[in-house]
């Protein structure tokens, strides 16, 4: 039996490293990994050193920083995606391309989200232009390892801001192990193609997953405004800032 050749980008990330551990337990697979430390996907020259032809490409690599400048996000999330497609999906060999999009492609609440929307369109169009390519766009929710409570694992004062000032906001969780199994099954199943799939559980309001009830901060709304402003200035973000920006 000929081994199935799979390329995984973003192999050093949380999802990528867990997926690789799972795939390595399966027979008849030949795995190639692209990680940020060794390969710059925004450089076609860097990708040319990877070489090889693949049956499946699982593209997980992305820039995630919330307040990163749009051109910096474009460099990784758009140019990098185009480079991967051009480097490994332009032969006549049948190939399945799995693109890790995000639930943010639905909310469209940041420049990062807009790169995911654009990325989905690029993948769809590329598959239309190249009959040998099939695709899956996977809109991945908020990943946790054991319990959804991990998504609000923050210092008590920030948990208080979430509970009292942003209690109506929701997270859309998915357990890491479940996500890995879904991606693996999609990669191995030739019948699931040319779709955009949502990979997350029902939304859970912040108020329902923060336990125990935190103390309310005096001037909580003012503190929230200050924290969001500071996050923008320092080009950093956390769960409080992320949820406050949701439309």
pLDDT score recorded for residue 244: 84
User: What pLDDT sits at residue 68?
Assistant: 63
Dihedral class, residue 223 (left if φ above 0, else alpha if ψ from -120 to 50, else beta): alpha
Tens of pLDDT, residue by residue, the chain (247 residues): 688 999 999 999 999 999 999 999 999 999 999 987 788 898 888 888 887 789 999 999 998 766 666 677 888 899 999 999 999 999 889 999 999 999 988 877 778 888 999 999 999 999 999 999 999 999 999 999 999 999 988 899 999 999 999 998 899 999 999 999 999 999 999 999 999 999 999 999 999 999 899 999 999 999 999 998 998 888 777 888 888 876 4
Specify the pLDDT at position 69: 64
| Cis amide linkage into residue 88, ω under 30° from 0 | no
Q: What is the pLDDT of residue 205?
A: 93
Mark residue 203 as left, alpha or beta (left: phi above 0; alpha: psi -120 to 50; beta: remaining): beta
Contact 75, 36 (CB under 8 A): no
Nearest by Cα to 142 from 104, 168, 191: 104
Query: 220 — phi, psi (to 5°)?
Result: -60, -40
Q: Which tokens hold the place of 177?
A: 């192990």
Residue 114 to residues 110, 117, 188, 208, 231, Cα–Cα distance (Å): 6, 5, 29, 29, 20
Lookup: tokens for 227? 């924290």
Give the strands of the sheet with 4-9, arranged side by side: 29-34, 4-9, 56-59, 95-102, 133-140, 195-199
Structure token digits, residue 22: 């799972």
């Amino acid at each position: 039996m000929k081994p199935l050749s799979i390329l995984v980008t973003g192999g050093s990330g949380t999802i990528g490293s867990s997926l690789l551990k799972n795939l390595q337990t399966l027979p008849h697979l030949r795995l190639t990994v692209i990680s940020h430390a060794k390969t710059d996907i925004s450089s076609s020259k860097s990708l040319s050193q990877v070489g090889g032809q693949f049956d499946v490409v699982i593209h997980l690599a992305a820039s995630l920083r919330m307040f990163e400048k749009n051109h910096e996000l474009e460099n990784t999330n758009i140019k990098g995606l185009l480079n991967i497609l051009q480097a490994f999906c332009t032969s006549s060999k049948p190939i399945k391309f799995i693109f890790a999009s995000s639930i943010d492609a639905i909310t469209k609440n940041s420049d990062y989200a807009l790169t995911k929307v654009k990325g989905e369109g690029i993948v769809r169009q590329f598959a239309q232009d190249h009959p040998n390519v099939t695709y899956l766009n996977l809109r991945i929710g908020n990943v946790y390892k054991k319990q959804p409570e991990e998504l609000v694992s923050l210092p008590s004062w920030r948990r208080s801001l979430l509970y009292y000032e942003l209690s109506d906001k929701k997270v859309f969780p998915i357990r890491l192990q479940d996500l890995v199994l879904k991606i693996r099954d999609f990669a191995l199943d030739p019948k699931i193609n040319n779709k955009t799939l949502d990979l997350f559980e029902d939304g859970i309001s912040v108020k329902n997953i923060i336990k125990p009830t935190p103390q309310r901060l005096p001037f909580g709304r003012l503190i929230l405004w200050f924290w969001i402003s500071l996050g923008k200035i320092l080009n950093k973000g956390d769960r409080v800032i992320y949820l406050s920006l949701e439309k």
